[in-house]
């Protein structure tokens, strides 16, 4: 009897499944997609309703040969189970595998290229889906085999064809207009660059305005002998908000407040419950790991992928905050056992998914087990840290609310300075924790003061006035966390696209990170963005990209065909392409002069951008081809030899820091020397908890 064949994407996932299944199963990995559009040509027949032509890549021919041999040994066809990931990409991988194996077993396929996914003796291929790699989940999924969901496959095909059309048509246009044949444009990446460029222009156009905050340090002096000082902020002058715009205005107010009489107007005490944040979804996991560990979205997804394939967490590409009954029961039981019954709410906490079209059949990201053995089988330091963060976020989401007692004190200051009497209102707020609840897992330092015990009408002494000059601040630059949040909120991309999008726009050198790890558009990125916005403004924008995501969701739900969605896009896009190709307009990329002269022709030397980063070149190019490396030093010395630290790039364009004395000194680091980026979870939680959770 032949073994049942189970096909998954990766060897790690195959090894994990093999731990749960017996010797009657042969588990093999497809190593991702085994068929795709061709690498060096469009592969989409526009005239034939955008029909895609798929081919087996050279790298996958051995994989396909192995799978074909496995499913048709000696002419005997075993049962084949496709167990790829539970999303559109996984469904498409299963479809391509089934198509290739179906063609091999049954001979020539039909014109529609849809394999006969049945359970007949002639070709017993089925599909199973699970959201965690555990024995119970696998056994349950085996009880419910199904056919391939062609709606999900079509949604993936629609996205793939759309991105191929944009990439293969826009990218060569950029090559022609810039002379740089390594640039690219895309439906999501170009919009991400546009968001960063527009934010940078807001910052550059921002004009800071001066304003002053006035506070008073006061001390109670009631008859009961309860004393204590506190600080209250000026919130009203008469019936109006204070608008103190310069020192002169502040000095006038301070002069009156120096001689004013201070008295407690009201003391309000209330209890507030603070609900825990929901369990992680892909975007919040990426944002939190960026804030806590300084990780890129790409690294977070790589570590999460390993955790999933090892059976330690549920599927990590999800936009649903739904938790299964099994997960809820596991979490509530653990909380009760470890922290006590008062930390378990009467009913499980339920969260509303914010994504427009989240797949509620999916779960949020959570650990598959909470026993100590889960932590003992370590995959490495990074994996342990991310698993710990996911576990605590999951448990916290199902714990009782934090309860705080909040006190708000309003103070009147009456100035009898002639010729008028003026009334000022100050306000102070403080709180104390009554019950920590979910904060047991995410403790924070006390950020608001505990006020002294006061009652209405208590007289107060003024200890000192505290004027503070401030200036309005421009909007903050995007970092990885805030960019992912912006993309998610505006409906751009999906959980699987955030990490590759952010990686691509850096690889193409459209944006770079400053020392604070915030994105700044390069001159190249700004120039390309302006060109695309000018010529393809209706396509390279937030509303179009979000609308396209909605339409891809409609395809997945069977409401519309993917060909009709592509056709609606292609018509206007092709017209603008034709029009733009015929113009002589070039994309002018600013070139910064270095102040040096070319040693070969005497022309000014300028900074230019190439595939692997910036370099120095002659402004007389192409007549003069002189170039030399651009050495960017930072104000840090090498910890090994004391030499200058310079910014370098790998062959793939990734930035790193190295010693200028190479090869005599081989010091190199991904992070700026002296900057501790990979902080531990506990350290960050105790100092900046709101950033961690939110």
Structure tokens at 277: 């944040």
**Strand (E) positions, 165-209?**
none
Residues of the chain with pLDDT under 50: 104-122, 225, 357-360, 373, 677-694
Q: What share of the chain is helix, strand, coil (3-state, %, to 5)?
A: 40, 20, 40
The pLDDT tens digits for 395-422 are 999 999 999 999 999 999 998 765 667 8
Task: State how far the Cα of 264 lies from the Cα of 98, in Å rounded to an integer.
Answer: 77
Task: State how far the Cα of 618 lies from the Cα of 410, in Å rounded to an integer.
Answer: 68
Task: State how far the Cα of 171 lies from the Cα of 166, in Å rounded to an integer.
Answer: 8
Q: Where are the alpha helices (DSSP H) in 362-425?
A: 372-376, 381-397
Q: What is the pLDDT of residue 113?
A: 47
Q: What is the pLDDT of residue 227?
A: 59
Reduced to 3 states, what is the DSSP secondary structure of residue 8? strand
Q: Identify the helix (H) or strand (E) that includes residue 285.
A: helix 282-293
Cis peptide before 419 (omega within 30 of 0): yes
| Annotation marks residue 315 as catalytic | yes
Q: Where are the alpha helices (DSSP H) in 403-497?
A: 480-489
Q: What is the pLDDT of residue 271?
A: 95
Q: Are strands 44-45 and 51-52 parallel, antiparallel or unpaired?
A: antiparallel
Task: State how far the Cα of 462 lies from the Cα of 389, in Å rounded to an integer.
Answer: 46
The pLDDT tens digits for 353-397 are 765 544 445 799 999 999 654 555 678 899 999 999 999 999 999
Q: What is the pLDDT of residue 620?
A: 85
User: How many CB atoms sit inside 10 A of residue 660's CB?
Assistant: 16
Highest CATH level, class, for 4-148:
alpha beta
- The number of CA neighbours under 13 Å toward the Cβ of 67 is 29
CB 44 within 8 A of CB 23: no
Range 210-275+402-471: architecture per CATH = Distorted Sandwich (2.70)
Structure tokens at 412: 């009147």
Q: Which of 445, 535, 547 has its CA nearest to residue 491?
A: 547
Q: Domain coordinates of the chain in residue numbers?
A: 4-148, 168-206+477-581, 210-275+402-471, 282-400, 593-669
- CATH for 168-206+477-581, options being 1.10.460.10, 1.10.10.10, 3.90.1300.10, 3.40.1550.10: 1.10.460.10
Q: What is the pLDDT of residue 584?
A: 67
Q: What is the pLDDT of residue 105?
A: 42
Cis peptide before 622 (omega within 30 of 0): yes
Beta bridge partners of 127: 82, 146
Range 282-400: architecture per CATH = Orthogonal Bundle (1.10)
Beta bridge partners of 415: 422
User: How many CB atoms sit inside 10 A of residue 67's CB?
Assistant: 22
User: How many CB atoms sit inside 10 A of residue 189's CB?
Assistant: 25
Q: Cα torsion at 174, 176, 178, 181 (round to 10°)?
A: 70
CB 616 within 8 A of CB 626: no
**DSSP-assigned states of every residue in 43-102:** -EEGGGTTEE--EE-GGGHHHHHHHHHHHSGGG----EEE---SSHHHHHHHHHHHHHHH
Q: What is the pTM of this model?
A: 0.84
Which residue in the list 54, 262, 315, 343 is annotated as catalytic?
Answer: 315
CB 322 within 8 A of CB 131: no
Phi, psi of 617 (to 5 degrees): -140, 160
């Amino acid at each position: 009897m032949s073994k049942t064949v189970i096909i998954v994407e990766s060897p790690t996932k195959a090894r994990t499944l093999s731990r749960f299944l017996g010797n009657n199963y042969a588990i093999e990995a497809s190593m991702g997609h085994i068929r795709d559009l061709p690498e060096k040509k469009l592969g989409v027949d526009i005239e034939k309703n955008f029909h895609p032509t798929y081919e087996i890549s050279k790298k996958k021919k051995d994989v396909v040969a192995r799978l074909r041999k496995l499913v048709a040994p000696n002419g005997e066809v075993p049962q084949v189970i496709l167990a790829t990931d539970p999303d559109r990409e996984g469904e498409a991988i299963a479809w391509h595998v089934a198509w290739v194996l179906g063609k091999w077993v049954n001979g020539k396929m039909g014109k529609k290229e849809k394999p006969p996914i049945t359970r007949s003796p002639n070709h017993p291929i089925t599909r199973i889906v699970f959201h965690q790699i555990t024995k119970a989940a696998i056994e349950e999924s085996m009880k419910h085999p199904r056919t391939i969901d062609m709606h999900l496959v079509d949604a993936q095909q629609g996205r793939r064809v759309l991105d191929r059309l944009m990439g293969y048509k826009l990218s060569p246009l950029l090559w022609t207009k810039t002379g740089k044949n390594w640039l690219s444009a895309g439906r999501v990446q170009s919009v991400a660059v546009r968001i960063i460029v527009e934010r940078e222009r807001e910052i550059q156009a921002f004009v800071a305005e001066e304003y002053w905050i006035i506070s008073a340090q006061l001390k109670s002096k009631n008859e009961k002998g309860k004393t204590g000082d506190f600080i209250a902020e000026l919130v009203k002058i008469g019936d109006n908000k204070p608008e103190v715009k310069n020192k002169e205005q502040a000095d006038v107010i301070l002069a009156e407040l120096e001689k004013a009489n201070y008295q407690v107007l009201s003391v309000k005490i209330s209890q507030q419950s603070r609900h825990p944040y929901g369990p992680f979804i892909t975007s919040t996991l990426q944002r939190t790991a960026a804030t806590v560990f300084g990780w890129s979205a790409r690294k977070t997804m790589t570590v999460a992928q390993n955790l999933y394939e090892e059976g330690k967490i549920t599927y990590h590409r999800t936009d649903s905050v739904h938790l299964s009954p099994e997960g809820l029961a596991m979490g509530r039981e653990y909380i009760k056992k470890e922290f006590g019954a008062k930390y378990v709410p009467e009913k499980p906490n339920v969260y509303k998914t914010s994504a427009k079209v989240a797949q509620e059949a999916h779960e949020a990201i959570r650990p598959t087990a909470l026993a100590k053995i889960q932590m003992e089988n370590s995959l490495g330091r990074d994996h342990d840290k991310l698993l710990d963060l996911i576990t605590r976020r999951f448990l916290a989401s199902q714990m009782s609310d934090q309860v705080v007692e909040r006190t708000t004190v309003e103070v009147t200051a009456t100035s009898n300075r002639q010729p008028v009497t003026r009334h000022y209102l100050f306000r102070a707020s403080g709180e104390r924790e009554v019950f920590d609840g979910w904060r047991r897992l995410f403790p924070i330092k006390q950020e608001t003061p505990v006020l002294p015990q006061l009652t209405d009408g208590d007289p107060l002494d003024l200890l000192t006035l505290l004027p503070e000059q401030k200036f309005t601040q421009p909007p903050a630059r995007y970092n990885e966390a805030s960019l992912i949040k912006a993309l998610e909120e505006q409906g751009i991309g999906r959980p699987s696209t955030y990490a590759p999008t952010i990686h691509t726009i850096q690889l193409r050198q459209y944006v770079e990170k400053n020392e604070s790890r915030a994105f700044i558009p390069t001159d190249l990125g700004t120039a390309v963005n302006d060109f695309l916005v000018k010529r393809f403004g209706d396509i390279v924008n937030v509303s179009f990209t979000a609308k396209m995501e909605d339409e891809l969701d409609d395809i997945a739900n069977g409401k519309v065909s993917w060909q009709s969605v592509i056709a609606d896009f292609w018509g206007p896009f092709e017209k603008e392409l034709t029009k733009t190709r015929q113009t002589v307009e070039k994309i002018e990329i600013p070139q910064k002069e270095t102040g040096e002269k070319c040693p070969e022709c005497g022309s000014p030397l300028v900074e230019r951008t190439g595939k692997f980063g910036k370099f120095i070149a002659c402004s007389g190019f192409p007549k003069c081809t002189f170039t030399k490396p651009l050495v960017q030093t930072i104000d840090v010395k090498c910890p090994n030899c004391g030499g200058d630290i310079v910014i370098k790039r790998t062959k793939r364009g990734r930035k790193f820091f190295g010693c200028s004395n190479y090869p005599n000194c081989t010091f190199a680091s991904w992070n700026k020397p002296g900057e501790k980026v990979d902080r531990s979870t506990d350290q960050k939680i105790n100092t900046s908890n709101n950033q961690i959770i939110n």
